[in-house]
Amino acid sequence: MPAMMRGGVNRNLVVSIVLVFVTCGIYGLYWIYKLNDEITALSGEPGTSGGMVILLNLVTCGIYSIYWYYKMGQKVDIIKGQRGESSGIMFLVIGLFGLGIVNLALIQDTENHIVG
């Protein structure tokens, strides 16, 4: 059972990545949903709800995810206390190369360090 603290959950990265592949991406949608809400709570910044992120990703055939990666990068910087850094740009570029699972792992790693 993952440990929960201050709005975040400490998840095992390897298990999460394996689950994304084993479930053909369904766990990835759940992971995005949960990460969005947890990172938004930890950063204290306003943002779109996890359900809306999933809906917008489905409606735009994944194009919204590029914007979402950028916004998550900004929130990760806020959580790390590095406001104004360039994680948003890094996540954007990684997402443009189709490596969204890497972004999810990086976001989760940040959350794990904060709550664990």
The answer for residues whose C-beta is within 8 angstroms of residue 93's C-beta and 6 or more apart is none
Token pair 């994304």: residue: 20
* Pairing, β 3-5 against β 8-10: antiparallel
- Would you state the pLDDT for residue 69? 96
pLDDT tens per residue across span 64-85: 999 999 999 999 999 998 877 7
Q: What would the pLDDT profile of 4-20 be if each residue is shown by its tens digit?
A: 445 688 999 999 999 99
Can you tell me whether residue 35 is helix, strand or coil?
helix
The encoded tokens of residue 34 equal: 């949960």
**4 by DSSP, 3-state: which?**
strand
| Mean pLDDT over the full length of the chain | 91
The pTM of the whole model exceeds 0.85: yes
